[in-house]
Amino acid sequence: MKVQLTSPLDMHLHLRQDDMLKKVAPFSAKYFSGALIMPNTIPPITTKELLLEYKKAILDATKDFTFTPYMSLFFQNYDKKFLQEIKNEIVSIKLYPAGITTNSQNGVSKIDIDEIGDTLQAMSELEIVLNIHGESNGFVMDREKEFLPIYEVLAQNFPKLKIVMEHITTKESATLLEKYDNLYATITLHHLFITLDDVAGGLLRPHLFCKPIAKRPEDKEALLHLALNAHPKVMFGSDSAPHPKSKKEAPGCAAGVFSAPVILPLLAQLFEKHNKLENLQAFISDNAQKIYNITPPKKVIALEKKAMQIKNEYEGIVPFMAGETIEWSVQ
């Protein structure tokens, strides 16, 4: 059994910086036509100069492949003039609540329309997409659910602003997606495979620890329903977030799952298992092209149902399902 995917897209990718960038970027560039690059670097990407510098570093690290880095800005209050000047260099702006995840300490401390509404209105008029890491500071299992009223306020007040609920993990988020025309969502690979039980139900598995944390079986089922049926408002975003093994297998374990090397074979395995292989193309590329109004470079990736063992690590970075044998592989 074989399948061909045309211009796969990863609409939520962390490439880090410096040596880590050089290590991990080729894994995405080899298999994907393009990816939306997250801006929570150190310092965060908030100026045109920082953005162009980061984009050049990514292009240098992926020069052996056909790959487009779709760039995003780290949300802060920007005036319309600046956004007009930088519009052709970005596809989105990413809003992080302050301190909620890796390198988000400079995020928004209070999501209040009176304080950030001018920027949101300018984004709406300029057709710049708003991405949001939607979590509160509450109890860890309830953080995403507690954030949903904020999505509602934003969707109601800026009906022409495309808002992407990043890496959704709950059935409540899946339900909210249907309520507003301007709400969209990304879903990760790991949240389609694991629940909290996989992370902490037996021995603690630090390489599965991520934010948002994996949830309950019924939440995973809601995500599977959206992804497997290629819901037109849903697209793939890996949230592949590499950390050195030394920072994962340690006190204060860093949050993030490194999935870039294994995404396409595992998605093929999942969709084939559920007899939905014909929907994988829309989930992995077509929906994102429509939502973001982008045309990625042509790249065809052929996959086949042939067993492959995932490496235990890549240069000190442990991948998702390390050491396991899976049913599909890239030809």
Active-site residue set: 239
CB 216 within 8 Å of CB 196: yes
CB 306 within 8 Å of CB 299: no
Q: CA–CA separation, 56 vs 67, rounded Å?
A: 12
Q: CA–CA separation, 11 vs 97, rounded Å?
A: 20
Q: Work out the end-to-end distance of the chain between its first and last CA atoms, rounded to an integer number of angstroms.
A: 11
Q: Cis bond leading into 69, ω under 30°?
A: no
- Interior/surface letters 118-129, b for 16+ CB within 10 angstroms, e for the rest: ebbbbbbeeebb
Unique residue bearing structure tokens 């211009």: 7
Q: Kindly calculate the radius of gyration of the chain based on its CA atoms and give it in whole angstroms.
A: 19
53's tokens: 């510098």
Q: CA–CA separation, 185 vs 230, rounded Å?
A: 12
SS3 at position 220: helix
Q: Which amino acid, 238?
A: S
Pick from 183, 287, 309: which is nearest to 232 by CA? 287
CA torsion sign for 246, 249, 251, 253 is positive
